[in-house]
Amino acid sequence: MTETPLDIPRAWAEVVDPAEPGQRLRLDLTWLTSRWRCIFGAGCPGIDAAEPDAGCCVLGAHFTDDDDVERVAAVVERLGPDEWQQHDEGRAEGWIVELEDDDAESGTARATRVVDGACIFLNRPGFPAGEGCALHRHALAEGLEPLTTKPDVCWQLPLRRTYRDVELPDGTSYLEVTITEYDRRAWGPGGHDLDWYCTGAPEAHTGAEPVYLSMRAELVELLGPQGYAVLVRLCEEHLAAVAALTGGAGPGGRPLLPLLVHPATRAAGG
C-alpha cells in the first residue's frame, strides 16, 4: 500500500493549557485520531531492509538530558542476562556512547551503543526471554509503563512534542507546545532514506483504538492529566464531526476533506 505523503492537510486544535495558562497546546487531531499502532513483531519490515527484525532500533537511542540517562541507567543495573541478550557485552564494553553534536550545549550528545546493526538493548528473534527491547520487556514483566524504563525518544515515538515561543502583536508572548506525528522529517535528513516507515504506512494503521487512547500513558506524561483531558474532549468532538459528515458510514462513505481522517488510516479501511 502507498505511503502517505508528508505534506498532507491536517486538522489542528489550539487551546490554552489548563495547567499552565502561559502556554498553549497545539494538537494534531488528524494524527491523534488515526488508527496507527506499533506492528513490531507483527509484520513490521523495519526502517532498514537489511535488518527487518530490528524495527526502528537499528539506530542508537539519543538521550535528551542527564535525567533521561540516569533513569535508564538505573534500569540497566537491574537487567540480568536472562532479560538482556547483550548483557555481557554491555557490562564489559558499556552501553552508552558519546557523539559529536553541534546542537548540544556541551558539544557532545549521548546515545545507546549499536551492536551488530542495532541498539544494544534489542533482543533478537530466538532469545529465550523474547525478541524486542530489553528495557521495554523489563517494564512489562514488572508491571510498569515502558515510559518509565526506556529512553525518552523511544517511548515517545511516534509522538512528537515540540516547543516554540510565540510573540504577539501587543508585546506579550506564550509557549506553544505541539503534539503531532513523528514523521520521516523528524528523523532529520536521513529520514527520507528509511526503507520503510510506519506512521505513513497503511499496514500500521490497523489499531483497535485511535492513538489518543492507545497511547494514553505517553500523552498524559507529555501533557499532564489536565492537558490530556482536554485532548480527549477535542478528539472525541473531532471523531463525532467525522461520523456526522459521513452519516456514520466512516471514511468509506461520503468524500471527506483529507485533513479529517489520516490518509493511511483511510487506506487501511479504519
Q: What percentage of the chain has pLDDT greater than the value 90?
A: 86
- The H-or-E segment that residue 148 falls in is none
Tell whether the model's pLDDT for residue 106 goes beyond 70: no
Residue type, 11: A
Q: With cut-offs at 50, 70 and 90, classify the pLDDT of residue 104.
A: low
CB 108 within 8 A of CB 63: no
Tens digits of residue pLDDT in 108-128: 799 999 999 999 999 999 999
* Domain assignments of the chain as residue spans, ordered by start: 1-46+172-270, 57-156
Phi, psi of 197 (to 5 degrees): -145, 140
The answer to whether 200 touches 265, Cβ cutoff 8 Å, is: no
Torsion of CA 166, 169, 170, 172, to 10 degrees: 10
pLDDT tens, position by position, 69-90: 999 999 999 999 999 999 999 9
The answer on pLDDT for 51 being more than 60 is: yes
The string of DSSP codes covering 44-108 is ---SSTT-GGGTTTTSPPBP-SHHHHHHHHHHHTT--TTT-TTHHHHHHH-SEEEEE-TTSTTSE
- Average pLDDT of span 196-217: 98
List of E strands, the chain: 12-17, 20-28, 96-100, 108-112, 114-115, 118-119, 122-123, 132-133, 159-167, 173-181
Local structure of 177: helix, strand or coil: strand
Closest CA to 61 of 172, 157, 180: 157
Place of cell 494534531: 28
Joined together, the cell numbers standing for residue 139 give: 517494564
User: Residue 115 class from Cβ within 10 Å (0-12 exposed, 13-18 middle, 19+ buried)?
Assistant: middle
Per-residue cell: 178: 505541539
- 147-171 pLDDT, tens digit each: 999 999 999 999 999 999 999 999 9
